Amino acid sequence: MQIRDYRPADEQSWLQCRVLSFMDSSYFQDVQQHRQTFARPSVELVVVQENKIIGLIDAEIDSQSMTDKQESGAMIWNLAVLPEYRRQGIAKDLWQAMRKRLLDQDIHYCELWTQEDVPANRFYQHNGFKLDTNATYLRCKIGGRELPLALSKHFNKTACVEEMTFEAQVSEREQLQPLCDEIIETRMYTQHF
């Protein structure tokens, strides 16, 4: 097993690893046909075993999406390990390799977004990330019907929607539960190191 930099020739294996790794998570629908590129400098690492990518991590330095613009930092966009290789410390090794690479570039802050997946949240908490409750929110989805009256008032009109997704405060979960087809809590974690 070897951790190394991502190479353009890795794209198909990287995409397969990401899709298969996300299948049992709330990100199962986030299928990409091409590997994303980053507008800013990035650190992109993969774990290879027998010429197969079994894990990956990507971080963009000083991403426009970062919420804390006070200092230079990194945004983790992807962290994945194939299901059959989990619980072997691979994700931790990837994070430690990333952390070292960031420190080598004098980056001492990192943030990431995840959802309610228990294993992912446990991993981040166990590896020193702190939940930023101020940045945590609900992503709510309503599909294929007239908006419920409560939401129609919120948007100042009655509308029929094919599919509508909107953000809400975590404190609004209980009142939104009967109105929404799907509610996903989106959480931000940060770490200073």
Closest of 30, 33, 38 to residue 58, by C-alpha: 38
pLDDT at site 187:
93
Residue 46 · residue 58 · CB < 8 Å: no
Give the bridge partners for 99, in sequence order.
Answer: none
Bridge partners (DSSP) of residue 186 are 137
Integer angstrom CA distances of residue 54 from 5, 95, 163, 174: 13, 14, 35, 39
Residue 154 confidence (pLDDT): 54
pLDDT of residue 158: 47
Q: Give the full edge-to-edge strand order of the sheet including 52-61.
A: 2-5, 42-49, 52-61, 74-81, 109-114, 182-192, 130-146, 160-168
Distance separating alpha carbons of residues 130 and 114, to the nearest angstrom: 12
- Please list the rounded mean pLDDT of every run of 10 residues in the chain (193 residues): 96 94 76 84 97 97 81 93 96 98 96 92 96 90 62 50 77 88 91 94
pLDDT at residue 150, as a whole number: 56
Contacts of 63-67 spanning 24+ positions with Cβ under 8 A: 63/38, 63/39, 64/39, 64/40, 66/111, 67/111, 67/132, 67/135, 67/188
